Amino acid sequence: SSSRSAPAADDPALVGTPPMGAFWMPFTANRKFKQSPQLIVGAEGMHYRLADGRLVLDAIAGLWCVNAGHRNPRVTAALKAQIDVLDYASNFQSGHPAAFELAARLADFAPGDLNHVFFTNSGSESVDTALKIAVAYHRARGDAGRYRLIGRERDYHGVSFGGISVSGIGRQRSTFGPLLNGVDHLPTTHDPVRNAFSRGEPVHGIEKADALEAMLVLHDPSTVAAVIVEPVAGSTGVLPPPQGYLRRLREICDRHGVLLIFDEVITGFGRLGANFAADLTGVLPDLITAAKGLSNGAVPMGAVLVRDGVHDAFMHGAAGSVELMHGYTYSGHPLACAAASATLDAYLEDGLIAQAAALSPYLEDGLHALRGLPGVIDVRNLGLLAGVELAPYAGGTMTRGQAVAQQCLARGVMVRAVGDTIALSPPFTISRAQIDEIVDTLRAAILNTVDQPSA
Ligand code: PLP
């Protein structure tokens, strides 16, 4: 190892290419990326600055997380203030005020009686925590026979062994051998034939929820602990739930004493134009997993929001005993709490969630105007979350999605290709003119990639 002085992030001319070999990049084609690295060296508001000096519009909010815009002034100020007061304090058998204050604010921000907050550092940790709470809840009530977990095809729940077990993405599971026992998967709600070019929640597919009833009967409902779904499956292509689907899942879970977990790592904190998907749909889950927009991406943080009845089931036994044998060194880290609290201020006091709701029809209209372009086979959207799906190329050196994303970047807009779907989830601080810029850029990129790129 050698020591290197940090490059000045605001002066791209000074940024050389760092040594590429040591960093094993996550979810990346390492060898390909490192041949022609595209580095991000700065950010401000709606934009990233690339190492070549170009400013690009960030249409995906980092990785669906920077909802309040990059380097949001409230967040920056709060982090600077916090680091001068308290850098770290454990929340194991001790505590610091910011964690308690943030938890109280989140309980207010969350719907219904989701009044209890377990802090984590990521979406994956939130999912693992929620699954463990669900199983332990039944055991705490003397119902230890409930251990099964039910996920859904095409849902993504992070990368822990628990998360990949309940996720419905074959390639992420098959790499790692046997996973958790007793896991089954509901069918995806995605219906490209009946629901193509749907706006908001699609009309068809409520009956897909009935697969849960059948699955419970198959396994014996008294063995099932919890069902976990993404209200809108994000990273597998932006798949909004059919109208009434989530409510029906809730009804079936209630009938059989099964907990319902919404993984709102993407959909939470205003992404759908409401605090949570649970608010938008009026369906209250027993637990919500959150991360990303919680701290505006500025510091890693996740949380599990838990309803009174689930939490209270643990608060028995000897008063001095630890009620849940679970936690992370950085659960409720002071800096993360400061960032999250300031992010909440941005959402609430600056009206950003209302702004996301107000802008969503404009984004919807803009994107649906792409219908009819060569290769565009579907457009899906809910709130400020959207996907434009393209017909795949047969074979080829890159997917159609990758080709379009690359073209967009060359034209100054950063989007994310998830398979052949172009995913969009801009910061809520976006203007109408910037939405136009995204749509116009996408149109040009799609028209420019009608033919397959040659090797
Ligand atoms: N759950 C959902 C719905 C996600 O979209 C993600 C990440 O994209 C995760 C869980 C995992 O979060 P993290 O990458 O912070 O571990």
Inside any domain, residue 217: yes
Closest CA to 51 of 86, 88, 16: 16
Inside any domain, residue 2: no
pLDDT at 1 over 50: no
Inside any domain, residue 416: yes
Mean pLDDT of the 333-362 span? 98
User: Is 212 found in the same domain as 189?
Assistant: yes
pLDDT band, very low/low/confident/very high, at 16 (cuts 50, 70, 90): confident
Q: Give pLDDT, residue 49.
A: 98
Mean pLDDT of the 105-115 span? 98
CATH of the domain at 35: 3.90.1150.10
**CA neighbours closer than 13 Å in the CB half-sphere of residue 71:** 10
Say how many Å lie between the CA of residue 348 and the centre of ligand 1.
Answer: 24
Domain C-terminal end among 296, 331, 349: 349
Mean pLDDT of the 201-229 span? 98
Say how many Å lie between the CA of residue 229 and the centre of ligand 1.
Answer: 12
Domain C-terminal end among 334, 349, 364: 349
pLDDT at 310 over 70: yes
Inside any domain, residue 453: no
Q: Which two tokens stand for residue 52?
A: 């070549």
Q: Which two tokens stand for residue 448?
A: 């420019």
User: Is 280 found in the same domain as 328?
Assistant: yes
Mean pLDDT of the 66-80 span? 98
pLDDT at 3 over 80: no
User: Is 250 found in the same domain as 143?
Assistant: yes
pLDDT at 12 over 50: no
User: Is 438 found in the same domain as 418?
Assistant: yes
Phi and psi, residue 233, nearest 5°: -65, 120
User: Is 104 found in the same domain as 37?
Assistant: no
Inside any domain, residue 5: no
Inside any domain, residue 7: no
DSSP assignment of 139-190: HHTT-TT--EEEEETT----SSHHHHHH---HHHHHTT-S--SSEEEEPP--
Average pLDDT, rounded, for the chain = 95
Pick from 4-18, 102-116, 247-261: least confident: 4-18
Predicted TM-score (pTM) of this structure: 0.96
Radius of gyration of the chain (CA): 22
Ligand 1 closest atom vs CA 123 = 12
**CA neighbours closer than 13 Å in the CB half-sphere of residue 29:** 7
Say how many Å lie between the CA of residue 176 and the centre of ligand 1.
Answer: 18
Q: Give pLDDT, residue 375.
A: 96
User: Is 299 found in the same domain as 162?
Assistant: yes
**CA neighbours closer than 13 Å in the CB half-sphere of residue 369:** 15
Count of domains forming the chain: 2
Residues near 43 by Cβ (< 8 Å), separated by ≥ 6? 49, 58, 66, 70, 71
User: Is 313 found in the same domain as 411?
Assistant: no
Ligand 1 closest atom vs CA 64 = 8
pLDDT at 321 over 90: yes
ipTM score:
0.99
Q: Give pLDDT, residue 15.
A: 58
Our measurement of the distance from residue 393's CA atom to the centroid of its chain's CA atoms, rounded to an integer in Å, reads 28
Ligand 1 closest atom vs CA 155 = 3
User: Is 406 found in the same domain as 257?
Assistant: no
> For residue range 135-181, what is the model confidence (pLDDT) as tens digits?
999 999 999 999 999 999 999 999 999 999 999 998 888 899 999 99
pLDDT at 6 over 70: no
Beta bridge partners of 229: 262
Q: Is 287 helix (H, G, I), strand (E, B) or coil?
A: strand
> For residue range 351-399, what is the model confidence (pLDDT) as tens digits?
999 999 999 999 999 999 999 999 999 999 999 999 999 999 987 788 9
Show the ligand 1 pocket: residues with CB < 6 angstroms: 122-124, 127, 156-158, 230, 234-235, 263, 265-266, 291
Q: Give pLDDT, residue 4.
A: 42
Say how many Å lie between the CA of residue 4 and the centre of ligand 1.
Answer: 32
Q: Give pLDDT, residue 455.
A: 55
The percent of residues in the chain predicted with pLDDT above 70, rounded, is 96
Q: Give the pairing of strands 47-50 and 40-44.
A: antiparallel
User: Is 128 found in the same domain as 63?
Assistant: no
Inside any domain, residue 143: yes
- 246: alpha, beta or left? (left if phi > 0; alpha if psi -120 to 50): alpha
Domain C-terminal end among 315, 349, 383: 349
Inside any domain, residue 267: yes
Among 125, 160, 266, the mutation site with the greatest number of ligand 1 atoms within 8 A of its Cβ is 266
User: Is 217 found in the same domain as 162?
Assistant: yes
User: Is 281 found in the same domain as 204?
Assistant: yes
Residues near 259 by Cβ (< 8 Å), separated by ≥ 6? 134, 137, 225, 226, 227, 253, 286, 287, 310
Q: Give pLDDT, residue 397.
A: 81
Ligand 1 closest atom vs CA 267 = 3
Range of the domain at 178: 76-349
The number of helices, as runs of H, and strands, as runs of E, in the chain is 15, 15
Helices 210-219/245-256 angle, 10° precision: 30
d(CA 101, CA 438) in angstroms, rounded, equals 38
d(CA 383, CA 367) in angstroms, rounded, equals 13
Say how many Å lie between the CA of residue 127 and the centre of ligand 1.
Answer: 8
Say how many Å lie between the CA of residue 238 and the centre of ligand 1.
Answer: 14
Q: Give pLDDT, residue 452.
A: 82
Mean pLDDT of the 31-53 span? 95
User: Is 355 found in the same domain as 342?
Assistant: no
Q: Which two tokens stand for residue 48?
A: 């990233």
CATH of the domain at 143: 3.40.640.10
